[in-house]
Structure 1
Amino acid sequence: MGQTLQKFKRFRPKAGFRALAILGVLVFGLFLSSCQRPTEKTTRIQLSTWGSAQEVSVLKSILKDFEHTHPGISVDLLHIPENYYQKLHILVAGDMAPDVIFTNSISFPIYASQGIFRDLRPLLAAQSADSDLAETQFYPQALTAFSWQPPSGPKILAALPRDISNVVIFYNRDLFAKAGLPEPKAGWNWEEFRETADRLTVDHNLDGDPDQFGFSFYSTPPLFWLPFVWSAGGTLFSDDLQRFTLEQPKAVAGLRFYADLRTKWHVAPKKVESGGATMSQLFMQQKLAMMVNGRWSVPVLREQAPFQWDVAPLPVGPSGKSAVGLDASGYAIAAKSKHPQESFELIRYLLSPSAMKKVTASGLIVPARRDVAESDVFLSPGQAPAHAQVFLDSISHGVPSHTPARWNEIAEELGLALEPVWDGQEDAAHAMRGLKPKVDRLLEVSP
């Protein structure tokens, strides 16, 4: 990725690299699918996105409605289901960036730092008074996640959020009932959580190895273990993104607690004990009583789970908070787009209440629009999870994404340094002290 970013730096590639970029797009199998045949007076814009077949099917339906109500605009959908950002890099480097780009708040800084995204606040401000799209319609934390501070000048809004990604605890209600345990509620603390996970870890065949674990364990990505750092009062970076802070005592306490779930208390499975299965698969097989996961797990659980399940907030840590990450996905406009106004019209339609309700109805996302998130479309009375409000309650004390432009390289170093910690081979404090100089150097160097 580092070499790719260096080539990506100026976005003025030589003819040979531009040809390579075009060839790369063809090899990658990217395809364009026009939603309708344009007329000579039609403005054609391009929208790129990832997503499952189900998600893209809903999107195509929304685009069809958009074109019907906006006959002067035609949308070419560029669906990139795998390796999205690698392929987007090639498109941008080849001066072929889509007009509208679906992105997430973790990866957007590399583009925002290079001026690839247009500031959307002027377009928002230029809307008519009766527009149904305004910053006040969104959870402010989701807008914060898409804010970017250039080296000079005012902070920009690089994208408008479609959804929020946060994590909660999914739990098997049947296993709780079998163990005679009360179901988890807001306000439970780390010790109560650990004791619950311990009672839900069971060796059914008495061979000395648990057949059922109380809690999940993810080494990566960080969104699964960072809540323990934040809830302990620690941080990953300084507020100005100039210093790595995971070696500080409160952050280390969070890392240790999470590692101990596997290595000390053995309430979470080790690598060899998962048998190659994912945490979601173990949960579905009722070999996990609780797991950390996001809203994206809901559709599959509704369709396939052979047990009763619900969601609960993560436990309150020593800081007195239950703090989880708050990432966002949303729509940006390429700075070089020749059709910024038409692109903004598309975004406004994609984020309208009617379109957002169609996407939300699948159960896949937590909508970033307040009016949709707080409606029955999201809360779904009568369907699991019964306590869907937990997703919304965690937003108020969520930690918005705040990653540096070289996050991908930092995340790779972080994963390597933490692997022996998760396996019980190295103490978190020692590992993070050794990692700090590497990460600080990456934070000093602009992309």
Structure 2
Amino acid sequence: MGQSLQKFKDATKRLSKQTLGLAALGLIVAGLVGCQTRPTARSVQIQLSTWGSAQEVAVLKSLLRDFERSHPQIRVQLLHIPENYYQKLHILVAGDMAPDVIFTNSLSFPIYASQGIFRDLRPYLAPGAKNTGASDENSDRVSNGPSEALSEAQFYPQALKAFRWRLPNGQRILGALPRDISNVVIFYNRDLFRQAGLAEPRAGWTWEQFREIADRLTVDANNDGDPDQFGVSFYSTPPLFWLPFVWSAGGDLFSPDLRRFTLNQAKAVEGLRFYADLRHKWHVAPKKVESGGTSMSQLFLQQKVAMLVSGRWSVPVFREQAKFRWDVVPLPVGPSGQSRVGIDASGYAIAAKSQHPTESFALIRYLLSREAVRTVTESGLIVPARPDVATSAAFLSPHQAPAHGQAFLDVIPEGVPTHTPPRWNEVAEELGLALEPVWDGQQDPAMAMAAVKPKLDALLEVSP
């Protein structure tokens, strides 16, 4: 691990020692403000780093207070980093000040896992903790509590897969345990569908049906050539919005071993072209100049976009602000015969250098207990990575929109677990630059991907 960690530190040399010290010190001071109680002479203090909105952090702080009450020998120092989370985490790790418990997502996980920075959590798991994968009629009244044992069986396997990694020495680790899953569905305005005389979409609809519906929902009321209402949203970044079209066409971003860039292959190009054509050939999605500085979510709330590709994070805002009826449906089925979306996971890891791994796992076990995950789920922000919570009323919320929240769960079995290379940040930057002219309608995706392939293959080849 020594050489790997040194490489990681070398990557931060552009940060001066003074900047490193001040930045890290600033984070520690900020974290002290978040301490729940002062440590006693007999207690152990551990640090937990996380990002999150004010609403999410308020829920977390309440859980930490409950944890400390039930574990009086452990005190938790919360390091809330709301912006530039991984940039600041990088600084802490490089300065040998990594928090004991680190909230991470599967997209950035390989950057740290490949350097041996996360501890393998499998030794802490119980081999046979019970999980049926579904809730029973009493599941919402049962509390497994802080002493609940955790096993891999209690989580969606797709979420776990996103946190598995093979180290350079051949060791396989489970570097984090998932709290939630981020996937995308299509939010749609039920009132605009009714006004257009359209039946509401259902799972199993095809690309062609989707395109035709988007065309019907694109309206130029004053016939000036500029639509006043668009059928569907358009995001050029991040990839989670356009990759479903690649996967549903039968293509992929990388080879299974992450050593080759495959977005230049025919099926992948078909997915890219279909997505770009929504904007430039069929004009059912807004171009950059037509959306201006307004986000797609805001356009949806303003009823200027009838269908929005988004995730569970949009639900609380829409419940509060939408002045129309809305629901969700899985993305349409592509040429592959499937509708496939990414399965990004967020969860908790323990730093390999933590001096308190046992206490750190006690915290993770508490935060991932059914009771704690249910509490976070009830905020409406997440798709829980525990099936027993996901299939309960805490998530499905039968008396609140969306009526078909089950769609978030139905896409999981065929979903694609996030699996990125250690140099993902560099790959993503180069890929984004190569796709800009495609999204702007200035270059065919086949040409753009063929041109960038050598550069991306080189980045993948030198990944540790």
| Alignment match, 1:393 | 410
Any idea what the Cα deviations from partners look like across 1:76-111, whole Å, max 9, x if unmatched? 000000000000000001110000000000001010
Report the alpha carbon displacement of residue 132 of structure 1 after superposing the two structures with TM.
3.5
Aligned residue for 1:9, secondary structure, equals helix
> Following superposition of structure 1 onto structure 2, how do residues 222-261 of structure 1 map, counting pairs within 5 Å?
222-261=239-278
Report the alpha carbon displacement of residue 155 of structure 1 after superposing the two structures with TM.
1.6
Report the alpha carbon displacement of residue 25 of structure 1 after superposing the two structures with TM.
2.4
Question: 2:233–2:308: 8 Å Cα contact kept in structure 1?
Answer: yes
Give the distance between the partners of 2:269 and 2:461, measured in 1 at CA: 23
Q: Return the match for 1:417 from 434, 442, 456.
A: 434
Any idea what the Cα deviations from partners look like across 1:396-447, whole Å, max 9, x if unmatched? 0000001000001101111110010111110000000001001000001136
Give the distance between the partners of 1:27 and 1:75, measured in 2 at CA: 18
Report the alpha carbon displacement of residue 382 of structure 1 after superposing the two structures with TM.
1.0
| Alignment match, 1:434 | 451
Give the distance between the partners of 2:17 and 2:361, measured in 1 at CA: 28
Give the distance between the partners of 1:333 and 1:188, measured in 2 at CA: 42
The code of the aligned residue for 1:351 comes to L
Give the distance between the partners of 1:9 and 1:362, measured in 2 at CA: 36
| Alignment match, 2:152 | 135
Q: Which runs of 5+ in 1 are unaligned?
A: none
| Alignment match, 1:122 | 123
1:321 aligns with 2:338: yes
Report the alpha carbon displacement of residue 205 of structure 1 after superposing the two structures with TM.
1.6
Residues 182, 13 of structure 1: alpha-carbon distance in 2 compared, 3 angstrom cutoff: closer
Report the alpha carbon displacement of residue 302 of structure 1 after superposing the two structures with TM.
0.2
Report the alpha carbon displacement of residue 236 of structure 1 after superposing the two structures with TM.
0.3
Q: Return the match for 2:379 from 343, 359, 362.
A: 362
Question: 1:11–1:92: 8 Å Cα contact kept in structure 2?
Answer: no
Higher mean displacement: 374-383 or 203-212:
203-212
The code of the aligned residue for 2:230 comes to F
Aligned residue for 1:38, secondary structure, equals coil
Give the distance between the partners of 2:91 and 2:357, measured in 1 at CA: 21
Q: CA RMSD in A?
A: 1.9
Q: Return the match for 2:361 from 319, 344, 355.
A: 344
Give the distance between the partners of 2:108 and 2:150, measured in 1 at CA: 24
The code of the aligned residue for 1:239 comes to P
Report the alpha carbon displacement of residue 13 of structure 1 after superposing the two structures with TM.
8.9
| Alignment match, 1:31 | 31
| Alignment match, 2:41 | 40
Aligned residue for 2:37, secondary structure, equals coil
Report the alpha carbon displacement of residue 37 of structure 1 after superposing the two structures with TM.
1.6
| Alignment match, 2:93 | 92
Q: Return the match for 2:217 from 191, 195, 200.
A: 200
| Alignment match, 2:140 | none
Question: 2:126–2:149: 8 Å Cα contact kept in structure 1?
Answer: no
Report the alpha carbon displacement of residue 152 of structure 1 after superposing the two structures with TM.
2.5
Report the alpha carbon displacement of residue 6 of structure 1 after superposing the two structures with TM.
10
Report the alpha carbon displacement of residue 10 of structure 1 after superposing the two structures with TM.
4.6
Give the distance between the partners of 2:185 and 2:11, measured in 1 at CA: 43
The code of the aligned residue for 1:31 comes to G
Question: 1:17–1:94: 8 Å Cα contact kept in structure 2?
Answer: no
Give the distance between the partners of 1:13 and 1:309, measured in 2 at CA: 46
Give the distance between the partners of 1:409 and 1:441, measured in 2 at CA: 11
The code of the aligned residue for 2:31 comes to F
Report the alpha carbon displacement of residue 240 of structure 1 after superposing the two structures with TM.
0.3
Give the distance between the partners of 2:30 and 2:433, measured in 1 at CA: 32
Q: Return the match for 2:189 from 158, 172, 180.
A: 172
- Indicate the percent of aligned positions where both proteins have the same amino acid: 73
TM-score after normalising by structure 2: 0.92
The code of the aligned residue for 1:380 comes to S
Report the alpha carbon displacement of residue 38 of structure 1 after superposing the two structures with TM.
1.5
Give the distance between the partners of 1:11 and 1:356, measured in 2 at CA: 37
| Alignment match, 2:143 | none
Residues 269, 318 of structure 1: alpha-carbon distance in 2 compared, 3 angstrom cutoff: same
Question: 1:8–1:93: 8 Å Cα contact kept in structure 2?
Answer: no
Any idea what the Cα deviations from partners look like across 1:214-236, whole Å, max 9, x if unmatched? 00000100000000000000000
Give the distance between the partners of 1:399 and 1:107, measured in 2 at CA: 16
Give the distance between the partners of 2:261 and 2:163, measured in 1 at CA: 21
Any idea what the Cα deviations from partners look like across 1:212-260, whole Å, max 9, x if unmatched? 0000000100000000000000000000000000000000000000000
Report the alpha carbon displacement of residue 206 of structure 1 after superposing the two structures with TM.
1.7
The alignment covers a number of residue pairs equal to 442
The code of the aligned residue for 2:446 comes to A
| Alignment match, 2:8 | 9
Give the distance between the partners of 2:150 and 2:123, measured in 1 at CA: 13
Give the distance between the partners of 2:234 and 2:331, measured in 1 at CA: 14
Report the alpha carbon displacement of residue 200 of structure 1 after superposing the two structures with TM.
0.1
Higher mean displacement: 273-282 or 226-235:
273-282
Give the distance between the partners of 1:338 and 1:19, measured in 2 at CA: 26
Report the alpha carbon displacement of residue 128 of structure 1 after superposing the two structures with TM.
8.6
Q: Return the match for 2:319 from 291, 302, 305.
A: 302
1:402 aligns with 2:419: yes
Residues 375, 214 of structure 1: alpha-carbon distance in 2 compared, 3 angstrom cutoff: same
Question: 1:13–1:94: 8 Å Cα contact kept in structure 2?
Answer: no
| Alignment match, 2:64 | 63
Report the alpha carbon displacement of residue 8 of structure 1 after superposing the two structures with TM.
5.6
